[in-house]
Copies of this chain bind each other. A is one copy, B any other.
Amino acid sequence: MGQERGRTTRRRLIGAAVDCLAERGWHAATMLEIAERAGVSRGAAQHHFPTREALVVAAVEQLAEEQIAELRRRSAELPTGRARTLPVAEMVLDLYTDVKFRAALDLWVAASHDPALAAVLAPLQARVGKEAHRVVVELLGADESRPGVREAVQATLDLARGLGLANLLTDDGRRRAQIARQWARMLETAV
């Protein structure tokens, strides 16, 4: 298998895994179903990802990387100084409202009943969480040596995940936009 072709197969499997998880959940997202959706043989799928756990770890990592790259790309267009806080707050609080969050959430809930899955997801959660924290500090231009700033940034991401939950069954965009405005005001004082 050529290196280029291998990378393409990997990418397709990861994409199919994300779609499967988001649409049908961890219970229904079998290796066979994911491979079929990716248009890849089961053997080739298992060559890249020996277990379903390995595949979903790769998928979550890729989702997180894409999200962070997207945040950096969009933030490059933002104004500097105080005018930056509101658009950054809006961007961060929207982070977990798309179908990809649904896929990740499904995994987390499944892991709470499944020790093998929890064993791979818990360290991943720590790693991905740290990276998200770092990028929000950078976007806000926050000085973490000042007391409370670190916790205010953490709260921003935890709030964003809570807003992701609130958006799971209904479109919560209007309420979220109002919360983002108030949140930006609170952040300006705290950060």
A contacts, CB < 8 Å to B? 23-25, 27-28, 102, 105-106, 108-113, 118, 121-122, 125-126, 129, 148, 151-152, 154-155, 157-166, 168-170, 175, 178-179, 181-183, 185-186, 189-190
Q: Is A169 touching B111 in the complex (CB atoms < 8 A)?
A: yes
Secondary structure class of chain A's binding surface, majority of residues:
helix
Pick from B126, B160, B170: contact of A125, CB under 8 Å: B170
Count the copies: 2
Query: Quick one: which of B28, B161, B182 contacts A162, CB cutoff 8 A?
Result: B161
Q: Which residues of B contact A23 (CB under 8 A)?
A: 113
Contact A154 B125 (CB under 8 A): no
Q: Say how far A40's CB is from chain B's closest CB, in angstroms.
A: 24
Say yes or no: A168 contacts B108, CB within 8 Å: yes
